[in-house]
Amino acid sequence: MKYLTLIIAGAALLSACTSEKKNTTPAAANATVATEQFTLSTTIAAQAGVAQGHATMHTFNSVVKANGQLRVLPQSEAEVASPIGANIKQILVVEGQHVSKGQTLAIVGHPDLLELQGRYLSASSRMSYVAKEYQRQKQLYASKIGAGKDFQQITSEYRQLQSELRITAQQLQLLGISPQAVKAGRTVSTIAIKAPIAGSVQTISAQTGQYADPQSALFTLVNTDHIYADILVFENHLPQVQPGSTVTLTAKTIEGSMTGTVATVGKMFDTQSRAVHVRVNITSNRNRLIPGTYVTANISGSKVSRLAVPTDAIASDGDRQYVFLAQRKNDQLIFTPREVHTGVSENGFCEITGGLSAAENIASSGAYTLMSEWKKADAAQ
């Protein structure tokens, strides 16, 4: 009876183990595990251009990345208004047109123009008499013949007319009207609104017949000959940015890249961003630059020494970068993919910021060939 019990228990245990094995085997068969290593013969690796080496210290020009906008100098932008309240008679330019300094933008007219010229003519005519009378009274007073009261009165009138002539003449000149022409009888009923700078007409806020208020801009002119990039650099990067540093600029609206140099580094922090304004003079690809365009800047800083590998030692797979550790065994090379973090690339070398040490042996070239072999080995498993 005792032996029979042991036999039954053993049979039950064997049955349970067999059942558990049958349940777990299919799950294990369906599992997919990526290949971590693959092997190539030294001959095939050499034919594929795969060499071996180590990460080494390499000198890079540090790069400061920053953002900013294209701007123009204050003297290269102008808002043009009528010098006097007047009605617009004619508009002579269109948006986008290039104009020269002094070129007529519009013609305006108003009765006040004739009234101002009339005041100047009246004062000028009156001065002809008063000046002679002043000289006569002055001589009489000097000879103690004339009364002092008469001399004082004519002197006061003479001084007042001088001031009125001077003021009205200056007003006429500001409006572009010649006082000499007015004195000669050549009065005008309209004046020209002229461009104070050379540049392109950006906006026109005028219509024929409308009343032009001296406080309201009718035209906006911009001269892009001296356009520059205003870049905001944060305080932790300021020590790397110096006047004369080379800058590469890119923008979504500009084909290709632009180059420039740092002209000035600001001395005050922007209160909101805690960044400093850096002015960059653009030296190439200046065609069709538009003020206000947002740009990205790569500013070359001081030289730094960083761990790096040849660019041919790195292969990308999506947004990940890999190098391949290499180990020789007889006439075979065993490669192990290693994900790394990279920094700047320069002169055929790429900075390694993490994932690899200088002591590890790697494939220093042929990385994309090895990436292909790795994919094949992974697919075959």
The CATH number of the structural domain formed by 82-222 is 2.40.50.100
| Spans of the chain, pLDDT less than 50 | 1-34
350/148 Cα distance (integer angstroms): 97
A 10 A CB-CB count for 309 gives 26
Residue range(s) in the chain whose domain bears CATH number 2.40.50.100? 82-222
Count CB neighbours of 163 within 10 A. 10
Which residues belong to CATH 2.40.420.20 in the chain?
38-59+305-380
Sequence-distant contacts of 240-243: CB under 8 A, at least 24 apart: 240/62, 240/64, 240/299, 240/301, 240/302, 241/64, 241/265, 241/278, 241/299, 241/301, 242/301
Q: Does domain 64-74+226-303 have CATH number 1.10.645.10?
A: no
pLDDT of residue 100: 94
The tally of CA atoms less than 13 A away on the side-chain side of residue 39 is: 6
Please report the pLDDT score of residue 380 as a whole number. 66
Domain 38-59+305-380, CATH number (from 2.40.30.10, 3.40.50.2300, 2.40.420.20, 3.30.70.1230): 2.40.420.20
* Tens digits of residue pLDDT in 344-357: 788 899 999 999 99
In the chain, residues under CATH classification 2.40.30.170 are 64-74+226-303
Interval 278-318: pLDDT, tens: 999 998 877 778 888 999 999 987 777 889 999 999 999 98
Is 212 in contact with 109 (CB distance < 8 Å)? no
d(CA 334, CA 167): 95
Q: State the DSSP code for 238.
A: G
pTM above threshold 0.85: no
Question: What pLDDT does residue 28 have?
Answer: 31
Enumerate residues 6+ apart whose C-beta is below 8 A from 361: 52, 53, 54, 325, 326, 327
Torsion of CA 44, 49, 55, 60, to 10 degrees: -170
Long-range contacts for 12-16 (Cβ within 8 Å, ≥24 apart)?
none
- Selection from 222, 234, 258 nearest residue 64 by Cα: 234
pLDDT of residue 24: 35
| Per-residue tokens: 41 | 């013969």
d(CA 128, CA 165): 12
At which residue do the structure tokens 């205003």 appear? 230
Neighbouring C-beta atoms of residue 355, cutoff 10 Å:
14
The position carrying tokens 């909101």 is 272
What CA–CA distance (Å, rounded) separates 66 from 56? Answer: 29
